[in-house]
């Protein structure tokens, strides 16, 4: 079991997200008010705090949301979860892993600063199956 350390949204795609502390998971959409929400397979992105710390160890001043992830987690090895794994998020949220990593078509500012970026390799994506509120400090657990 892990925990949520940041709940992040942005108004537009292609920008860093801001930790807003709380959000609402909406079925077949993602996080209410987030630019990446919609009826597709990458509704919510997750990245582990442990991955962000790797970039901090390279000397970058990066924090949750800087990799455009919606949920920053701690205590779960996200990239080891196979597609189809279910995650219980907070009190009532349920998501299903739909993609591990992503292709990075254009190199982002993080890549140019560090020569690397963790999101394409260590970020995962889920589709929201059951909605509900999500807050910093909530539990996240593998539910399959």
pLDDT, one tens digit per residue, over 76-101 is 999 999 999 999 999 999 999 999 87
Report the alpha-carbon distance of residue 92 to residue 143 in Å, rounded: 12
Please give the angle made by the CA atoms of 44, 76 and 87, to the nearest 5 degrees. 45
Report the alpha-carbon distance of residue 45 to residue 58 in Å, rounded: 23
- Max Cα–Cα distance, the chain, nearest Å: 39
Report the alpha-carbon distance of residue 68 to residue 119 in Å, rounded: 8
pTM given for the model: 0.90
Looking at domain 2-142, its CATH architecture is: Beta Barrel (2.40)
Model confidence over 6-48: pLDDT tens digits?
Answer: 999 999 887 789 999 999 999 999 999 999 999 999 999 999 9
* Beta bridge partners of residue 99, listed in sequence order: 125
DSSP secondary structure letter of residue 55: H
């Amino acid at each position: 079991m892990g925990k949520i350390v940041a709940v992040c949204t942005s108004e537009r795609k292609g920008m860093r997200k801001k930790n807003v502390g709380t959000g609402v998971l909406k079925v077949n959409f993602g996080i209410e008010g987030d630019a990446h929400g919609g009826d597709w397979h990458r509704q919510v992105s997750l990245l582990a705090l442990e991955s962000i710390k790797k970039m901090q160890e390279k000397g970058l001043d990066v924090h949750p949301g800087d990799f455009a992830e919606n949920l920053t987690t701690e205590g779960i090895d996200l990239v080891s979860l196979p597609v189809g794994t279910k995650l219980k998020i907070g009190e009532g949220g349920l998501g299903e892993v739909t993609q591990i990593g992503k292709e990075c078509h254009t190199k982002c500012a993080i890549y140019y600063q560090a020569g690397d970026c963790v999101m394409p390799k260590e970020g995962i994506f889920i589709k929201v199956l059951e909605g509900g509120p999500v807050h910093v400090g909530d539990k996240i657990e593998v539910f399959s």
